[in-house]
Amino acid sequence: MHRVLLTAGAALTRDAYARVIEGSALLTVQAKIPDLTHALAQLPSLRPDILLIDAAALTPSPGTTTLLSLGRAAAHSPVAVIGDIPAEETGSLLRVGVTGVLDPRIEAAPFVAALALISQGGTVISSPSTTTRIPAAPPTPVLGQLSTRERQVLALMATQPDTRTLAQLLGISPLTVKSHVNRILRKLGASSRAHLVTIAYESGLVSPGLPAGRVLAY
């Protein structure tokens, strides 16, 4: 079972997350530490399979010091943040090594699945409207010829078609995004960006949204 260290946020919220985690067959709560700074200090010795942080500890927005701390934490264990995080701040979190940004409205089953995937090396971003999955290995042979970064770009294209938005999320230039897209088009024999979006859905890389909270993993 994957061990989860819970930190920050309201005590009742942590307890709610803990109940969902303990009720699953995949996860267990290693510890609940109210203070984020204390949790980060304990990380090297506890070495949980995933550190789950309530985004309330990062408000109003992740500062430079916090981002550096999260980056250091990610060197010890996968780090996920749960809360309302704007897209521009999501990009900053991903760039320092955070591998999970979860919507607080996500339901129990997707929540457990997201944490399990993160602990296995995947990256998850939840959104209230779309589910995208990119595990550590390609989900279907057709995507096996793409690099990890190309699969990231392909998955994000299905939900974020704007080149500038993609560039911000991935921490690269719009020109680099266009270069990735052109390589993906050639490798998959696709005729257009719209064709690539179709491939993303048909291959299982991206799943249509359900009424529950959605998960984007890459």
Contacts of 202 (CB under 8 A, 6+ apart): none
Asked if the model's pLDDT at residue 22 lies above 90, the reply is yes
For residue 215, tell me if it sits in a domain. no
Range of the domain at 59: 2-126
Looking at per-residue confidence, does 132 or 89 come out higher?
89
* Residues 14 and 118 grouped into a single domain: yes
Q: What are the two backbone dihedrals, phi and then psi, of residue 32, each rounded to the nearest 5 degrees?
A: -120, 115
Q: Which strand (E) or helix (H) includes residue 193?
A: helix 193-202
- Give the count of domains, the chain: 2
pLDDT at 95: 79
pLDDT, tens only, 163-185:
887 787 777 888 999 999 999 99
Average pLDDT over residues 104-124: 83
Asked if the model's pLDDT at residue 17 lies above 80, the reply is yes
* Residues 88 and 158 grouped into a single domain: no
Contacts of 27 (CB under 8 A, 6+ apart): 1, 2, 3, 4, 21, 112, 115, 116
Average pLDDT over residues 179-203: 86
pLDDT at 179: 94
Overall pTM > 0.85: no
* Residues 50 and 150 grouped into a single domain: no
